[in-house]
């Protein structure tokens, strides 16, 4: 991506994400219409939809030739990652948004010919912005995030992990391996916003994040951020991520990545 365009895209994305966040904060106590999508616990609100529409309009007005790939369907039908694609989750952590009115984020990843160039994750209620331009450093507000070079053993690591993957009937991963992993780790956390979990890995307050079902908009920004500070982001079986479909994801410090995948994750089927 041309450096001038990259800087411009970053500046617009930053201005828009802050504006969208401000709007969500100003309406956080307004009555909410809550609908369900794929199941009774898969929530969506008018704020998810309005926020994605806000980005759709800004992007189309400013860059008519760019594509938008967003969770709520106000963007384009994407079949490949040719050209410039904005991959957006307008509210990541909708359940937290509804139940807690905090711990949710807006996530924007901008890809050029399949490469993640710009990533922003905005923790709306805390007014904290994680931002990255590939190859130019990752930031938490104005503070540059240091490299994740420290080698921390698994037994001293904290991993973001949802308890769903420990239920024997879960369709994705053998629970025995997950149990062994939990016993080995120092501890686990589950924040309910994939984007924030990536941001916390990049910040070094989590040592890794392992999950079995993410969509591209959940990790489009987070994967750029974590890689920028030297972390590794792949599918849970260490294969390349598929940026168009649901996937498993393992994002972590470099020294524990292979160990987690090879010794503890046995995917079903």
Show binding-site residues.
Answer: 71, 89, 91-92, 218
Contacts of 3 by beta carbon, 8 Å cutoff, 6+ apart: none
Selected range binding ligand IPD among 50-58, 120-128, 135-143, 191-199, rule: CB under 6 A: 191-199
CB of 150 to ligand IPD, least distance (A): 26
Which of the residues 147 through 166 are near ligand IPD (CB under 6 A)?
A: 162
Helix (H, G, I), strand (E, B) or coil at 84: strand
194 binds ligand IPD (CB under 6 A): yes
Phi, psi of 90 (to 5 degrees): -65, -35
Tokens read off for 250:
């393992």
* Cβ proximity to ligand IPD, 133 vs 203, nearer residue: 203
Binder of residue 214, out of Ca ion, ligand IPD, none (CB less than 5 to 8 A by kind): ligand IPD
Pick out the residues of the known binding site for Mg(2+): 71, 89, 91-92, 218
Q: In what order do the strands lie in the sheet with 208-214?
A: 187-189, 158-161, 208-214, 247-252, 232-234
SS3 label, residue 190: coil
Q: Judged by CB under 5 A, how many residues of this single chain contact Ca ion?
A: 5
- Least separation in angstroms between CB 170 and ligand IPD: 13
| Residue 22 bridge partners (DSSP) | none
Helices and strands (H, E) in the chain, number of each type? 7, 14
Could you say whether residue 223 binds ligand IPD (CB under 6 A)?
no
Q: Does 212 bind ligand IPD (CB under 6 A)?
A: no
With contact defined as beta carbons under 8 Å apart, do 267 and 248 qualify? Answer: yes
Q: x/- binding map, residues 143-182, to Ca ion, per CB under 5 A? A: ----------------------------------------
The footprint of ligand IPD on residues 58-97 (CB under 6 A) is 71, 89, 92-94
Q: Which residue's CB is nearer to Ca ion, number 71 or number 197?
A: 71
Residue at shortest CB range from ligand IPD: 194
Q: Comparing C-alpha atoms, which of 40, 114, 39, 108 is closest to residue 71?
A: 108
Quick one: residue 93, left, alpha or beta (phi over 0 = left, psi -120 to 50 = alpha)?
Answer: left
Q: Which of residues 77-96 bind Ca ion (CB under 5 A)?
A: 89, 91-92
Binds Ca ion by CB under 5 A, chosen from 49, 56, 71, 222:
71
| Residue 192 makes contact with ligand IPD by CB under 6 A | yes
Do residues 43 and 59 lie in contact, with contact meaning Cβ atoms separated by under 8 Å? Answer: no
CA 114 to chain centre: 17
The CA-CA-CA angle for residues 23, 26, 27, to 5°, reads 90
Q: Closer CB to Ca ion, residue 89 or residue 228?
A: 89
The answer to whether the CB of 121 falls within 8 A of the CB of 107 is yes
Footprint on this chain of Ca ion (rule: CB under 5 A): 71, 89, 91-92, 218
Footprint on this chain of ligand IPD (rule: CB under 6 A): 71, 89, 92-94, 162, 192-194, 213-214, 218
């Amino acid at each position: 991506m041309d450096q001038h365009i990259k800087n411009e895209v970053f500046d617009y994305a930053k201005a828009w994400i802050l504006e969208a966040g401000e709007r969500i904060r100003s309406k956080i106590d307004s009555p909410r219409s809550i609908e369900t999508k794929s199941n009774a616990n898969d929530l969506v609100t008018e704020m998810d939809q309005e926020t994605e529409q806000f980005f759709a309009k800004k992007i189309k007005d400013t860059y008519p030739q760019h594509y938008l790939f967003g969770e709520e369907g106000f963007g384009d039908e994407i079949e490949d990652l040719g050209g410039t694609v904005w991959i957006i989750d307008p509210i990541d952590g909708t359940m937290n948004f509804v139940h807690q009115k905090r711990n949710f984020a807006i996530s924007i990843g901008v890809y050029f010919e399949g490469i993640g160039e710009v990533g922003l994750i905005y923790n709306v209620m805390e007014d904290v912005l994680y931002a990255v331009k590939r190859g130019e450093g990752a930031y938490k507000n104005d503070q540059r995030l240091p490299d994740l070079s420290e080698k921390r053993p698994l037994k001293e690591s904290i991993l973001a992990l949802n308890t769903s993957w420990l239920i024997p009937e879960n369709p994705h991963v053998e629970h025995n391996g997950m149990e062994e992993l939990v016993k080995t780790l120092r501890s686990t956390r589950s924040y309910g916003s994939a984007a924030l979990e990536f941001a916390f890995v990049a910040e070094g307050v989590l040592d890794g994040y392992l999950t079995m079902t993410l969509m591209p908009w959940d990790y489009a920004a987070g994967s750029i951020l974590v890689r920028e500070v030297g972390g590794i982001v792949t599918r849970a079986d260490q294969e390349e991520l598929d940026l168009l479909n649901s996937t498993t994801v393992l994002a972590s410090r470099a020294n524990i990545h292979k160990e987690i995948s090879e010794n503890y994750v046995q995917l079903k089927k």
